[in-house]
Each structure stands twice: as C-alpha cells, then as structure tokens.
Chains A and B, each alone.
Chain A
Amino acid sequence: MTAETAAQELLTVKDLRVSATRRESQDLHVVDGASFSIAPGERAALVGESGSGKSVTCFSVMGLLAQNLRVSGGSIRWRGNDLATAKREEIRRLRGPEIAMIYQEPLTSLNPLMTIGYQLKEAARRSKVGRREILEMLDRVGFADPRRIMGQRPHELSGGMRQRVMIAMALIGQPKLLLADEPTTALDVTIQSQVLKLMYDLSYEMGTAVLIVSHDLSVVRKLSDTIHVMYAGQVVESGPTDSVLSQPRHPYTRALLSSAPRLGDTRERLESIPGIVPTPDQWDAGCRFRSRCPLATERCAETPPVDVVADRSSACWHVDQLLAEQKEATPL
C-alpha cells in the first residue's frame, strides 16, 4: 500500500494481533499479524478455513471481542483514528452510524422478548432516524407489511426474515462500513443468494463498504471486488478477486480453490487440503501453511517475505515455483 492510497482508506488493519488471556499459561494469539485495508464503498471479502481468525478480526474492528480476548498489537485505523488504542466510548459511538455488523446466527441475534420495532428503533435512534425511515427500510429489505413486522417478536419470523431484519438494523444508519460475518451460513440454501443480493444491493445504494467473512469462494467470486485470504491468524494473500482467484500467489489460496466446487466442474472428486489448520499454540515465525503445503522446503521455517506486485500482496517463499506450476497446468 502506497502513501497516496492510505489517505483514502476507510479501514486499515495493520499487523493486528488478538490475544486470549489464559489463567495458567502464556497468552495465546488467535490473530497474529493480520493486515488489510478497505476503501470507501469497496466490497471486500475475508476468506479462509474455520479457526483462521476471520470472525475475531471483524469483532476486533467493532470492539466487540469476547471478554477473554483483547487486541494486543498492531493497529486498526478507522478514518485516521486507531481503534486498537481508542477508548471504549469512542468505539461505541462509531457502532451504528459508522460501522455496523451482521452476524452469523440470525436465530439468536435478536432479543427474544423485544419487538422487532423496538429493536430497530434502538438502532435508528443512534443515527437520528425516525419511524418513517424504519418502515421504509423494512419495505426495502422485502417485508410486504412493515407495520405488522414492527409489532412482532423474533420467534414469529423465519431465519431468513430475521436476517433481513438484521440487515435493516445494520443499514438503517447508512454506515460507511458493513461487516458481515458469514451472514448466510445459518440460512436455507434456497434463500442464501437472495439475502446476499439484498445486502449488497442496499449497501451499494448507500455507498456502504462491505467486508464479508466467508468460506464460500463461489459467493466471494461473484460479490467481492477484493479478497483477503486468511490462514492461521494472518492474511497470506490480498488482491482483486478476479486476479487472486485466477492466479493465486499463495499455495493456500490455490489449495482453497481446488477444494471448492465450481460451476461446470468436471472433476469427480473435490480435492481436500491434507492436514488441519495448526492451532494458535503451534504458530511460529515461519510460514504456518508449510505443514500442509506441497511446495514446502526448509526455508519455509523462516518468516516469508511479503511480496507486493501492483495491487496484490502475498507471503510465500515459493511464488515463482507456484506461478510456474500454474502455467504448466491448463488454465482454470
């Protein structure tokens, strides 16, 4: 990232480290060296396997980490302010009107005893938005009878409806950034794309940037401008979605791609990545993917250099070999 782009960035996360406090041993880093940035209106994606620290990264931006977790290093710059060192009250003021979030579990993310209307009003009040706008918003997220929905409680709505309420709640204040933590994982396959489309259409209309956390590459491919691949607490590769997915510069990205189904796929079996993501206590300074990487050599025990080429960055000792192998193989 160059100096001139830095000025226009909305969010810049640099070398983020999140640690878990443990009672009887040293602190454990669950995110360790994550860097990426998001421009206004950009549609970005954070991808990677479970346990790579995607959700925790989102929650640290929101200042909503679980009690035993804390940001212990790096910076989270939001329009010039560092949220990693900001006071709690400062971050609280950003939530809603500036940064909003949609969560993985629509079924449990709404207060079961409060009406939808009440919960929406709470969010709207933060952004000084009135009842008329709330009804309008409910209409925009696809409720035929917004007035009726206002009086209902979460248990009266389906998962998809609740997630649409969550979208309305998140976007009511026209935030500058929307964090979406696997927003459709818990939903029926049939309505997943519908909900995603809604989320992206509304964000686009409002000029809201979106950072989606997902492990579904087919979703990311269609809906994101940029992609950040996370592995074991780090961002191992970043860049425009098309170029990253067509020509990965990190063996982990390549492995993720070959394990994901694609339209018109003729392979009989999907490849799986051998081994499992190392747990945080196994992380060291070297490349964390090396235990599962076909290209790994002794050199990989050293910290891989961050390789910046045009708008892409990646961290692998063996980029050249990776690119050479891709040339040989038939293009995807």
Chain B
Amino acid sequence: MGVLSVGTYIAGRLAQMIPTLLLIVTIVFFLVYVVGDPVGLMLGDNATPEQVAAMREAMGLNQPVFMQYLNYIGSVLTGDFGESYQYGQAALPIVLERLPATLTLAIGAILLALVIAIPLGVWSATHRGGVIDSVVSSISVLAKAMPNFWLGIMLILLFAVTLRWLPVSGAGSWAHLVLPVIALGTGTAAEITRLVRSSMIEILSQDYIRTAYGKGLRRRAVVYRHALLNAFVPVTSITILQFSTLIGGALVTEVVFSWPGLGQLLVNAVSQRDMALVQASVFVIAVMVLALSLISDLLFKAVDRRINLG
C-alpha cells in the first residue's frame, strides 16, 4: 500500500466523520432544548415576564425550534458555536483552552494503566492459576468495580489530608497530577490487565508459539516478542476505546480534584444551561473520539499488514 492510498483512506475517513458529527450536534441541540433555556437562570428570580420575553427574543429563543435548529447548524458550519453567556465570549476558544488539561489527565491515566497492566497481564498469563495470578485477578475485579470519584476521595483523604504528601486539589505542578491520574487510571489498568491476560493466554496456545519454542528461542523472547506483538492489536483497540470512556471518567474526576479541564467546564456549563458551551464541549470531545478511532486503525495497519484498509 502506497502513501497515496493511505492519504485517500484518511480523506475518506474524514469525510465519513461529517455526518457523524452533524448527528451528534443535532442530538445535543435537542437535549439542551428539552432541558430548557437559561434565561431564568440568567436573570434571576426577580425578573419580570417582560424582561424574560425580551431576553428570549434577543437570544432567538422565541422562534420555532426548527428555525432555531437551522440557524444553529448554519453557524456551527462556520465554526461558530455561539457565545457563552457565563464568560461573555465565544464558546469554542474557551473549550479549546481547557483541552490540554483534560488530555494531560487522560494520557497520564492511560500511560499509568499500560505500565501497570502489561507486565501484570503477561505475568498472570504465563503463571496461570498461580498465587500472583489469583491476587491480580481479585484486585482487578475490585479496581474495576470502584467508582473513580470514590477512589479519588479516598486518595485525597489518605495522601492529601492524613499524610499530607500531595495537594488536595487544583493544578500547577506534577504533584497535583498524581492523585487524579491514579483515580482515573486504576479502573482502566484493571480492564487492560484482564485483556492482556486473556489475549496472552489465547496467543500462547497458538502453533506459532510452539514453533518459536521449537527453534530454541528463550522463553522471554517467545513471550515478549512473539506473543506480545500479537497481543498488540487487541490491546491497542481496547486501550483506545478506553481512552474514549476515560474522557467521560475525567469529567467526574476533574470535579473531585478541581482539575481545570474540559470535564469541569462541561459539568458547570450543563448546570448553568450554558448551551453554547455545552455544544462546543461535546463537539470537541466527539472530534477527539473520532480522531482516536482513526489513529487506532492506522496503527493497526502499521503493525498488522493483514488488515486491509478501506
């Protein structure tokens, strides 16, 4: 496959994203519409019905919903998600400004998860039924079952409040990153550990593993080269999938740790019915998830030449 066809493939995939994004924007628009408009919240309890009506007219909220929708889509197509009434500025730049913080948290959590999960999963698979395998299995069930906000609170209580080793919340230094990354990454680590274990068990029973042993290769070479390479495809696909759900988990974790990311912004925007901000946040998250799936497909292609793109 040449560079040209990879380019064509990427272009095709990008084109396919457009209807998906349009659908997401539409769904979010109507969800927000159902929740109700923010005028009441904006003007407070003492506003007169006349003031409310004037405000609604100014914001275009008195028009039929279909007209509102068309207007909205029209401006979204030009990259304009409207203005956040809370901040008094365009919504999209606010969202993009918060993005790096969320990505830092999510990437940190994924890296932590992989660093823990790959060795543990491989060990469990190669020592199946042993003590460590059983311990790892039990802990991973527990870790998966713990809600990350609860884990976050427990971590704060232990390491920040009692031991005073790490800051309670906020951002600004590496120390601030430690607890949220652990809170967010633990469940993912458990998930990936189980996946690495089951993939490795399946792969280690394959004929080509026997061939590798038959050549006189050392156990380490067989497990870490021949087997782990084949585990790459399933593990990567789940990791990337996990990354998407991790963004969701990050919303809650960010609130617990007052982490200045997209999650905190979105939660706040929803409760304040800041429609423009909600729309822009969801849009950015959607683009991120779609981009991740494209990246994962391209990665597979690089490793596994049997997968035919297109």
List residues of chain A with CB under 8 Å of any chain B CB.
62, 64, 92-97, 100-101, 103, 105, 108-114, 122-123, 126, 153, 155, 166, 169
- Nearest Cβ distance between residue B135 and chain A, in whole angstroms? 21
Q: Could you say which residues of chain A place their CB within 8 Å of the CB of B207? A: 103, 105, 108-109
* Chain B binding surface SS class: helix
Q: Which residues 175-214 of B have a CB within 8 angstroms of A? A: 206-208, 210-214
With contacts A112-B230, A113-B229, A155-B306 taken as known, whether A103 is within 8 angstroms of B216 at the C-beta atoms is no
- How many residues belonging to B are interface residues under a CB distance threshold of 8 Å? 21
> In the bound complex, how far is the Cα of B211 from the Cα of A126, in angstroms?
14
Supplied contacts A64-B214, A109-B207, A112-B306, 15 more A-B pairs, CB within 8 Å = A64-B210, A94-B216, A105-B207, A109-B211, A110-B211, A111-B229, A111-B230, A112-B230, A112-B304, A113-B229, A113-B230, A113-B232, A153-B305, A169-B211, A169-B215
9 contacts between A and B (CB under 8 A): A92-B216, A95-B214, A96-B216, A101-B214, A103-B211, A103-B214, A112-B208, A113-B230, A122-B212
> In the bound complex, how far is the Cα of B226 from the Cα of A87, in angstroms?
23
- Nearest Cβ distance between residue A108 and chain B, in whole angstroms? 4
Contact A103 B210 (CB under 8 A): yes
Q: Could you say which residues of chain A place their CB within 8 Å of the CB of B212? A: 111, 122
Q: Could you say which residues of chain A place their CB within 8 Å of the CB of B215? A: 95-96, 100, 122-123, 126, 169
Q: Could you say which residues of chain A place their CB within 8 Å of the CB of B221? A: 122
> In the bound complex, how far is the Cα of B217 from the Cα of A100, in angstroms?
12
> In the bound complex, how far is the Cα of B206 from the Cα of A169, in angstroms?
18
Q: Scoring B residues 208 to 250 as 1 if CB is less than 8 Å from chain A, else 0, what string do you get?
A: 1011111111100100001001101000000000000000000
In the complex, residue of chain A having the shortest beta-carbon distance to the beta carbon of B212 = A111
List residues of chain B with CB under 8 Å of any chain A CB.
206-208, 210-218, 221, 226, 229-230, 232, 303-306
- Nearest Cβ distance between residue A104 and chain B, in whole angstroms? 9
With contacts A112-B306, A113-B230 taken as known, whether A95 is within 8 angstroms of B216 at the C-beta atoms is yes
Contact B306 A109 (CB under 8 A): no
Contact A92 B211 (CB under 8 A): no
With contacts A108-B208, A153-B306 taken as known, whether A126 is within 8 angstroms of B229 at the C-beta atoms is no
With contacts A111-B230, A155-B306 taken as known, whether A93 is within 8 angstroms of B216 at the C-beta atoms is yes
Task: Name which of B216, B303, B304, B306 has the most chain A CB atoms within 10 A of its CB.
Answer: B216
> In the bound complex, how far is the Cα of B208 from the Cα of A169, in angstroms?
13
Contact with A95, one of B213, B232, B303 (Cβ below 8 angstroms): B213
> In the bound complex, how far is the Cα of B218 from the Cα of A126, in angstroms?
10
Q: Could you say which residues of chain B place their CB within 8 Å of the CB of A94? A: 216
- Nearest Cβ distance between residue B204 and chain A, in whole angstroms? 9
> In the bound complex, how far is the Cα of B221 from the Cα of A95, in angstroms?
15
Contact B208 A109 (CB under 8 A): yes
> In the bound complex, how far is the Cα of B291 from the Cα of A102, in angstroms?
45
Contact B216 A111 (CB under 8 A): no
- Nearest Cβ distance between residue A136 and chain B, in whole angstroms? 19
- Nearest Cβ distance between residue A71 and chain B, in whole angstroms? 16
Contact B213 A64 (CB under 8 A): yes
> In the bound complex, how far is the Cα of B208 from the Cα of A103, in angstroms?
10
Q: Could you say which residues of chain B place their CB within 8 Å of the CB of A113? A: 229-230, 232, 303-305
> In the bound complex, how far is the Cα of B18 from the Cα of A215, in angstroms?
60
In the complex, residue of chain B having the shortest beta-carbon distance to the beta carbon of A63 = B213
> In the bound complex, how far is the Cα of B210 from the Cα of A62, in angstroms?
10
Contact B214 A97 (CB under 8 A): no
- Nearest Cβ distance between residue A126 and chain B, in whole angstroms? 5
> In the bound complex, how far is the Cα of B303 from the Cα of A80, in angstroms?
45
> In the bound complex, how far is the Cα of B154 from the Cα of A298, in angstroms?
77
> In the bound complex, how far is the Cα of B208 from the Cα of A113, in angstroms?
11
Q: Could you say which residues of chain B place their CB within 8 Å of the CB of A101? A: 214
Q: Could you say which residues of chain A place their CB within 8 Å of the CB of B208? A: 108-112
Q: Could you say which residues of chain B place their CB within 8 Å of the CB of A110? A: 208, 211
> In the bound complex, how far is the Cα of B214 from the Cα of A97, in angstroms?
11
- What are the 7 A-B residue pairs with the smallest beta carbon separation, nearest first? A95-B216, A96-B216, A108-B207, A111-B208, A123-B215, A109-B207, A126-B216
